[in-house]
Amino acid sequence: MCLALPAKIVSINKIDDTAIAAIGEVKKEISLALLEEVAIGDYVLLHVGYALNTISPEEAERTLKIMAEAGLVEG
C-alpha cells in the first residue's frame, strides 16, 4: 500500500523538471518528471518526491480534510 498526498504547486523550475509543492505550511522540492503538463496553482498527488498526476482543487480539499480529521496532517 502506498500513500500519495495532495500538494499545491507553488513554483516550477523548468530547467531541471522540479517544483516546490506545499502541503499546508510544509514546502518540498519535488520531481515533475512523470507529468507532461503542470502549472503553478495546480494540485498534484505526491508520492516519495514525485508528482504522480494532477487532481482537482475540490478533490485535494476533500482528501486533506479527511486526513486532517484523522490527525495525519494539520488542518
Please report the pLDDT score of residue 1 as a whole number.
Answer: 57
User: In terms of residue numbers, what domain contains 56?
Assistant: 5-69
- 8-55: per-residue pLDDT in tens? 999 999 999 999 999 988 999 999 999 999 999 999 999 999 999 999
Q: Is the pLDDT of residue 73 over 80?
A: no
Residue 74 counted as domain residue: no
d(CA 35, CA 54): 8
Residue 75 counted as domain residue: no
Q: Is the pLDDT of residue 74 over 80?
A: no
Nearest to 46 by CA among 2, 1, 14: 2
d(CA 6, CA 58): 11
Q: Based on the structure, what is the number of domains in the chain?
A: 1
- Residue 46 sits in a domain of what CATH number? 2.30.30.140
Q: Are 66 and 53 a contacting pair, CB within 8 Å?
A: no
Nearest to 60 by CA among 12, 5, 2, 1: 5
Residue 59 counted as domain residue: yes
Q: Is pTM, for the whole model, over 0.85?
A: yes
Q: Are 50 and 33 a contacting pair, CB within 8 Å?
A: yes
